[in-house]
Amino acid sequence: MAELDTSGGGGKKGGKVRSKKQSTRVDLTAMVDLAFLLVTFFMLTTTLNKPKAMDLAMPDKDEKEHKQEPIAASRTMTVLLGSNNKAEWFIGVPTQPLSPPTVTGYGKNGLRAALIEEGQKIQQSTGKKMFVIIKPSDKSVYNNMVNTIDEMHITNNDLYAIVDITPPEIDLLKRENIY
């Protein structure tokens, strides 16, 4: 049983005669029980945060035959992920891009603005949605990949693929000093 004892101490001999103080005894058992009941209640009724994961559609490994429709280079945007939190994008193929390769950062004024602007141009000219090819390099970090996929979801662009980078594209990154 928990208790609080505030005895006067005493024990001195001599001096003035004083009346002996009675010790005050407070029983803390009920308060300790209540505290444990409250802690237990809140622990059992609280929900833990569930981890947020993004769904990615991955191809089946077992399927040998994939039916792929060719996509015109005029509606394909390639995003090369480089070092120092920079990305380079262009429309078309790396040997003959339809738009000059542009280095940008991530976020609202960087990759997101390019995805929205180029997506609208392609939608108006071809009547179809833009297809984005994401190519991470050896020098990019995982956070860049996550940011790029986040930008794809923010801009409602569900046509994208993650592909290995090729040597001509690495040369483009080296030319811009982001490899």
Q: Which domains does the chain carry?
A: 73-175 (3.30.420)
Amino acid letter at 3?
E
Residues of the chain above pLDDT 70, percent:
84
From CA 96, how far away is CA 129, in angstroms rounded?
21
**CA distances in angstroms from 89 to 63, 77, 101, 105, listed in the order given:** 31, 7, 6, 10
What confidence score (pLDDT) does residue 133 get?
93
Q: How many CB atoms lie within 10 A of CB 27?
A: 11
pLDDT digits (tens, 9 = 90+) for 138-155: 989 999 999 999 999 999
d(Cα 111, Cα 155) in Å, to the nearest integer?
10
